[in-house]
Amino acid sequence: MERPIDASDGAAKVVEDCTKKRDGHVTLRSRIDRERIERNSFREKHGLKEKQHRIFEAEFDTTGVYFYQAFKRSIAEYALKHQRFGGPEFKPVRMTWIKPSFAWVCYRAGYGTKKNQERVLKIKLLHKDVTRLLSQCSCGHGGGGTDGRVQWDPKRDMYRRQKVTKDWGVEPRKCECLRAIQIGLKGPLSRLYVESALKIEDVTNLARQMGEAHAIDDKEKRMSAIEDLLPSLPKERPYMPRGCSEDVLKRLCLKH
């Protein structure tokens, strides 16, 4: 359950519970305000700069963190049936990218419509396994020859869209002022990730529903469609990996 916002979080007001349906766009506005307040509170709690734009945001609970990947249909069906990755077409040691941002996987996979990315999966990892993976990663597009690579790319917005000239004609809006984390794993780290998957869910329909909502031209109807999806959309919050050393956090640009 999402933790309520109060004055102790540095908020100037109590944000309305975004699960309550109200007139206009209050529900969506409340959710956006809630995320902004939690982000600012997170910066304050961890001593980050006010303009710190690299923040690991994810859906998580007391046991673990959720990540997303898009696969071809046969690989996804095997993973869902067996609750683990495998099968004749899956290569466990090849470079694989995991994303804690639902909007980012929707952007990369065209809302689950691109070839060989027709199925969008939600994978849960234990906190300790996230720490193990990140502790062996380097930061940057070059990767420094390591088996783990963290990249910070412009954040994508679940609630707003931008028009493009390909695929659906729309995609989740790019937020230049914020960065979203992506984690690339290969070799032994990719195998460790595969072996660590705690739970695998199919969220393809949700991805496509978000794409359909984003494709609506009329702004009011589009916002209303997104509001209708709010109870199903993940509540992504700032996350500081548990157990990572200060050196690792600084190396991955999670702290200064």
- Whether 36 is covered by a domain: the verdict is no
- Does residue 27 sit within a domain? no
Neighbours of 9 (CB within 10 A): 17
Range of the domain at 67: 55-251
Residue 8 lies in a domain: no
What's the N-to-C CA distance of the chain in angstroms? 30
pTM: 0.88
Report if residue 106 sits inside a domain. Answer: yes
pLDDT at 9 over 80: no
Q: Write down the pLDDT at residue 160.
A: 96
| 146/135: higher pLDDT | 135
Instruction: Assess if residue 31 is contained within a domain.
Output: no
Query: Is the pLDDT at 54 greater than 80, yes or no?
Result: yes
Mean pLDDT of 170-194: 96
Q: Which residues contact 213 (CB under 8 A, 6 or more apart)?
A: 222, 225, 226, 228, 229
46 in a structural domain: no
Average pLDDT, the chain: 88
Over residues 37-65, the mean pLDDT reads: 93
In a domain, 149, yes or no: yes
DSSP collapsed to 3 states, 91-152: CCCCCEEEECCHHHHHHHHCCCCCCCCCEEEEEEEEHHHHHHHHCCEEECCCHHHCCEEEEE
Q: Is residue 83 part of a domain?
A: yes
Are the C-beta atoms of residues 216 and 210 closer than 8 Å to each other? no
* Number of domains the chain is built from: 1
Strands 148-163 and 57-58, how do they pair? Answer: unpaired
Structural tokens at position 173: 């809006």
